[in-house]
Structure 1
Amino acid sequence: MTAVRRSKKNADRVAAPAPAAALSADVAPVEDNAKRRQILEGARLVFRAKGFDGASMEMIARQANVSKGTLYVYFDSKEALFEALIHADRHRQAEALMDVEANRVEDIVADLQRLGRTYVRLMTSPDKVAMLRMVIGAAERFPQFGQLLYEAGPVCGAARLSRYLESRVASGDLKPCDTTLAASHFFELCVARLMKRLLFGVSTTPSEEEIAKTVDLGVDVFLAAYGADRR
């Protein structure tokens, strides 16, 4: 059993996010099967209800409807489970960005509006907000969580969007620029006001109308700064 656990530990250990590569390589999970997904979903519910400190492996096993022995075969600690959830969130965000790359249209405004709305829906979902709060709360004692979330979220997202923006620079829609910095500006403009209100608990999940208004204005500001002068 010890050997099995060690093998599973190595298979499930979350590696640092790799540099931007092929789309399939960006989003392929380390390992994915029904039992592992079942455990992760149970862990997500327990962490969201109890926070990182309040959660226990026993609670997670009970919520996931698996034995503690089965749980430890897949994850050898609560920390490893939490890291796996952060990694899973990275794949969700990467898939959302991949949708824009796969369904690019001629009109850059429409493309950016679609991307922005997808991104804001993801970032303001209750699960995502709960994850951000938990990581912020645990980061002082477990700084690796903050590092992992930062690399899996903002760094990975900016790298992916940067590639899309580079293609728009090449086609003459955007001015030559630092596309990685521009990508970060774009994401910040899309969630202006919305994220801070949610993180501080002074607002509920924004409506589609509020998301559209915030994103559309953000796209206008972004293109005012980075859009090519076609005169």
Structure 2
Amino acid sequence: MNYNPDEPPRRGRPRRVSDDERRRTIVKAAHEAFVEQGFARTTTAIIAARARVSKRSIYEFFDDKTELFAAVIQGNRHLILDLPRPAEEELPMLDTLVRIFRLDIDEQAEREREAILNLIARESTQFPDLSDYLYENNILRAREELIEWLLVQARQGRMVVDDPLVHAGMLMDIVFGALLPRRRLANRSERVMRIDHIKKRLAIFLRGIRTEDQR
């Protein structure tokens, strides 16, 4: 068959999009919509338009908007907490906590984390049932994961843990309380200072519970 350069190229078959890819596109669109407009104002029609799919396509993967919201949080859990830790990890305790709470991420990831934390805090306050759904379905279990990690450290003799629930709560207050500012940080230097202050507070916490590093 001879090639004719004057003939327009024939179009091939349109690329088939996998179910996994469609689902990721929908979750990404939902994430953007929830952050910008909130849970109440975001509709499946808005999400479908952003994802360039039909509403029917959304319901092929998700029963309702609550399940879709949970998928958004689930997909961003890595920005909130990095647990469990590698079994062979032998870092100083402060360095381990820095990694657990993702205090070493770059600025772009830091902004993404700030957005997801604000989304969780805002929508959980306005919609308690939504918060209950996230906890009941193990989407949010930072406290439980921290408790499990603390108990492992105690069993290994690296930390004295009198009350793991209280200790986990203190760690969450130290870190997440600082990562949810009352005002938007103006520049990079303020973000660097915030992380530095969190690390100093974690160091004070560790001195108070007698870690192996200080023995």
Q: Same fold (TM over 0.5)?
A: yes
| Residue 165 in structure 1 maps to residue 146 in structure 2 | no
Question: Which protein has greater RCO, CA pairs closer than 8 Å, 6+ apart?
Answer: 1
Pairs aligned (count): 189
Task: Spell out the pairing of 1:105-144 with structure 2 (5 A cutoff).
Answer: 105-118=90-103, 121=110, 124-137=113-126, 139=127, 143-144=128-129
Kept in 1: contact 2:83–2:145 (CA 8 A): yes
Kept in 2: contact 1:190–1:215 (CA 8 A): yes
Q: 1:224 to 1:74 in 2, by over 3 A?
A: same
Task: Spell out the pairing of 1:1-231 with structure 2 (5 A cutoff).
Answer: 33-90=20-77, 93=80, 96-98=82-84, 100-101=85-86, 104-118=89-103, 121=110, 124-137=113-126, 139=127, 143-150=128-135, 152=138, 156-195=141-180, 197=181, 200=182, 202-204=183-185, 207=190, 209-228=192-211
Q: 1:50 to 1:34 in 2, by over 3 A?
A: same
- 1:103: how far off? 6.3
Q: Which has the higher helix share?
A: 1
Structure possessing the higher radius of gyration over alpha carbons: 2
CA distance in 2, matches of 1:191, 1:84: 21
- 1:39: how far off? 0.7
CA distance in 1, matches of 2:114, 2:35: 13
The percent of aligned pairs where both chains have the same amino acid is: 23
Per the normalisation by structure 2, the TM-score is 0.71
CA RMSD in angstroms, aligned pairs only: 3.1
What residue identity is the alignment partner of 1:133? R
Kept in 2: contact 1:192–1:214 (CA 8 A): no
Kept in 2: contact 1:117–1:211 (CA 8 A): no
CA distance in 2, matches of 1:63, 1:103: 43
